[in-house]
C-alpha cells in the first residue's frame, strides 16, 4: 500500500540508501503488478468493512522493537502533527521524482558500462566470471555519480554485493596516483590496480580467506635454443629468435628485447628472481638489486613473479618484457641479434609445449 511505501522510505533513509532504495517499489516490475500500491490502508479497511469481509491483524505490528513499527507508530504521527500534515503525500510525490531520476541514471550507467567494456584494449585477456579488467582512464573520465553505479554493477557481475564503505574503497583505488593497492571484498573477491587497469578477480576461488590469495610461484627452466617456450606456471610465453643486425628495426614499436647473440651461450636458464640478486641495467652506471629495480619500474609486488631472469651461465642477460643487461647490449660491432619476446599465454596454445625453431 501507499502507507507501506512511506514507511519503507523512512526505514531505508535511516539505514542508508541510494536513489533506488528511496524510490520504493514500482507498480509494475516485469511480470509483477502491484494494483494496491497507491491505495491507503485506511481505504482498504473501509472497503472490507463495507463488504463485510473479515481480515487478520498481526500483533507484531505493535512491537516497537522493530524499526518499521517505530516509524509507523511514532515517527510519522510526530511529523504529521508538528511538521507537515500531508507528509505521506509529500513523501510519495518525492518517491515518484526519485524513481524517474533512478531510471535515467540506470540507463546512463548501462551505456557508460558498455562503452567502458568495449574500450578494453585488445591485448588484455577476455573478461571471465573469475576476472575482469577495466581501463582506469575510462573510469576516471566518468562522473562520480555514474562511477559509483558502475563499480556497484561490476561487483554484482562478480557475484559480490558491495556496501557504501566498499564502494568508497574502490573509488580510492581509482583516484590514487599509486597503483598496486588492493581491496578485499566478500566471498574471496579481490580488486587491485595495475598501471592501466582496475582488476576484479578471485585469486583463490570463490571462498572466504585472508590475504591476497596469490601463492608464490617459482620457476627454473632450461632454454635449449631459439624457439617458443610457454611457461604455464606464469601464464606467459618466452619466444627467442635470431636475426641479422642489419635487418633489425630498433625503432619498431614492439615488445621485443634485442641482445647481442655473440655475448650469449645456449642453453640459457629462465629462473625466478632470487633475493639479493643484482644486475646492471642497460645504460646504468652500476649494478642494482633486481627487486629494487622492479619497484622503481612500478611493478606491483603481486606481479613481480611474472618477470623472471634470463641467464647465460651465471650471468643475467635480461629480464624478459622489461630490460636487458648492459653487457648484453647491441654495439656497432654486433652482427647477430637474439630477439627476446615475453607475452601472455593465449587460450589456444599448449602450455606444455617446448618447440625449437
| C-alpha cell at position 163 | 556496501
Instruction: Let me know whether 99 and 123 are in one domain.
Output: no
Instruction: Let me know whether 156 and 97 are in one domain.
Output: no
Instruction: Let me know whether 311 and 284 are in one domain.
Output: yes
What confidence score (pLDDT) does residue 194 get?
A: 84
Instruction: Let me know whether 350 and 224 are in one domain.
Output: yes
In a domain? residue 211: no
What confidence score (pLDDT) does residue 55 get?
A: 86
- Boundary (domain end) residue, out of 106, 134, 149: 106
- Secondary-structure percent of the chain, ordered helix, strand, coil, rounded to 5: 40, 20, 40
182 bridge partner residues: 192
What confidence score (pLDDT) does residue 233 get?
A: 85
Instruction: Let me know whether 158 and 193 are in one domain.
Output: yes
344 exposure class (CB count in 10 Å sphere: 0-12, 13-18, 19+): middle
The fraction of the chain above a pLDDT of 90, given in percent, is 63
Instruction: Let me know whether 9 and 100 are in one domain.
Output: yes
C-alpha 229/C-alpha 318 separation (Å) is 16
In a domain? residue 181: yes
In a domain? residue 112: no
In a domain? residue 215: no
pLDDT tens, position by position, 81-112: 999 999 999 999 999 999 999 999 999 999 99
In a domain? residue 114: no
Instruction: Let me know whether 163 and 286 are in one domain.
Output: no
Residues 6 or more apart from 237 whose CB is under 8 A from it? 228, 229, 230, 231, 341, 342, 343, 344, 345, 346, 349
Sheet with strand 190-193: strands edge to edge? 131-135, 197-201, 190-193, 182-184
Residues 6 or more apart from 208 whose CB is under 8 A from it? 186, 187, 188
**Average of per-residue pLDDT values in the chain:** 88
H or E, element range at 132: strand 131-135
Domain hosting 47: range is 2-106
In a domain? residue 143: yes
Instruction: Let me know whether 157 and 254 are in one domain.
Output: no
Question: Which tops the pLDDT comparison, 299 or 207?
Answer: 299
Q: Residue 357 pLDDT > 60, yes or no?
A: no
CATH of the domain at 184: 3.30.465.60
pTM for this predicted structure:
0.63
Placement of cell 611457461 in the chain: 231
| Residue range 10-35: mean pLDDT, rounded | 92
Q: DSSP letters of 225-292?
A: SSEEEEETTTTEEEEEEEEEGGG--TTS-SS-EEEEGGG--SSEEEEPPPTT-EE-BTT-SS-EEHHH
Instruction: Let me know whether 88 and 156 are in one domain.
Output: no
In order of 69, 113, 158, 297, the CA distances from 16 in angstroms are 18, 25, 23, 42
| Number of domains comprising the chain | 3
Instruction: Let me know whether 11 and 74 are in one domain.
Output: yes
Closest CA to 234 of 272, 282, 206, 289: 272
C-alpha 343/C-alpha 338 separation (Å) is 16
Q: Residue 119 pLDDT > 80, yes or no?
A: no
Diameter of the chain measured on Cα atoms: 106
| Residue range 182-208: mean pLDDT, rounded | 86
Instruction: Let me know whether 324 and 282 are in one domain.
Output: yes
In a domain? residue 212: no
Angle between helices 144-157 and 164-175 (to 10 degrees): 110
In order of 182, 269, 301, the CA distances from 293 in angstroms are 22, 20, 12
Kindly report the three-state secondary structure assignment for every residue of 281-348. Answer: ECCCCCCEEHHHHHHHCCCCHHHHHHCCEEEECCEEEEECCCEEEHHHCCCCCCCEEEEEEEEECCCC
- Boundary (domain end) residue, out of 64, 83, 106: 106
Q: Which of 8-17, 233-242, 342-351 has the lowest mean pLDDT?
A: 342-351
Instruction: Let me know whether 246 and 341 are in one domain.
Output: yes
In a domain? residue 267: yes
Q: Could you give phi then psi for residue 55, rounded to 5 degrees? A: -140, 165
pLDDT tens, position by position, 295-327: 888 887 778 888 999 999 999 999 999 999 999
H or E, element range at 352: none
- Boundary (domain end) residue, out of 106, 133, 151: 106
Amino acid at each position: 500500500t501507499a502507507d507501506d511505501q512511506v514507511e519503507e522510505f523512512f526505514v531505508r533513509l535511516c539505514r542508508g540508501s541510494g536513489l533506488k532504495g528511496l524510490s520504493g517499489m514500482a507498480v509494475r516490475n516485469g511480470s509483477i503488478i502491484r494494483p494496491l500500491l497507491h491505495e491507503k490502508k485506511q481505504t482498504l479497511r473501509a472497503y472490507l468493512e463495507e463488504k463485510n469481509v473479515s481480515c487478520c491483524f498481526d500483533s507484531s505490528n505493535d512491537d516497537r522493537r522493530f524499526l518499521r513499527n517505530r516509524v509507523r507508530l511514532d515517527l510519522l504521527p510526530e511529523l504529521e502533527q508538528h511538521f507537515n500534515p500531508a507528509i505521506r503525500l509529500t513523501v510519495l510525490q518525492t518517491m515518484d521524482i526519485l524513481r524517474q531520476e533512478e531510471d535515467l541514471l540506470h540507463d546512463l550507467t548501462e551505456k557508460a558500462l558498455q562503452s567502458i567494456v568495449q574500450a578494453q584494449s585488445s591485448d588484455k585477456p577476455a573478461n571471465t566470471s573469475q576476472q575482469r579488467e577495466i581501463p582506469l582512464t575510462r573510469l576516471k573520465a566518468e562522473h562520480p555519480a555514474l562511477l559509483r553505479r558502475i563499480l556497484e554493477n561490476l561487483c554484482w557481475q562478480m557475484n559480490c554485493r558491495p556496501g557504501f564503505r566498499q564502494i568508497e574503497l574502490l573509488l580510492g583505488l581509482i583516484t590514487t596516483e599509486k597503483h598496486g593497492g588492493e581491496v578485499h571484498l566478500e566471498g574471496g573477491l579481490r580488486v587491485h590496480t595495475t598501471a592501466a587497469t582496475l582488476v576484479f578477480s578471485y585469486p583463490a576461488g570463490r571462498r572466504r580467506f585472508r590475504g591476497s590469495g596469490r601463492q608464490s610461484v617459482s620457476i627454473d627452466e632450461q632454454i635449449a635454443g631459439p624457439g617458443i617456450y610457454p611457461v604455464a606456471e606464469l601464464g606467459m610465453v618466452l619466444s627467442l629468435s635470431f636475426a641479422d643486425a642489419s635487418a633489425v628495426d630498433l625503432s619498431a614499436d614492439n615488445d621485443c628485447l634485442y641482445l647481442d647473440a655473440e655475448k650469449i651461450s645456449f642453453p640459457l636458464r629462465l629462473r625466478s628472481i632470487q633475493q639479493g640478486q643484482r644486475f646492471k641495467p642497460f645504460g646504468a652506471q652500476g649494478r642494482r638489486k633486481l627487486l629494487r629495480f622492479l619497484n622503481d619500474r612500478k611493478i606491483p609486488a603481486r606481479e613481480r613473479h611474472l618477470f623472471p631472469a634470463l641467464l647465460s651461465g651465471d650471468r643475467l642477460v635480461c629480464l624478459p618484457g622489461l630490460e636487458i643487461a648492459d653487457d648484453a647490449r647491441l654495439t656497432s660491432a654486433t652482427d647477430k641479434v637474439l630477439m627476446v619476446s615475453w607475452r601472455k599465454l593465449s587460450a589456444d596454445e599448449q602450455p606444455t609445449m617446448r618447440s625449437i625453431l
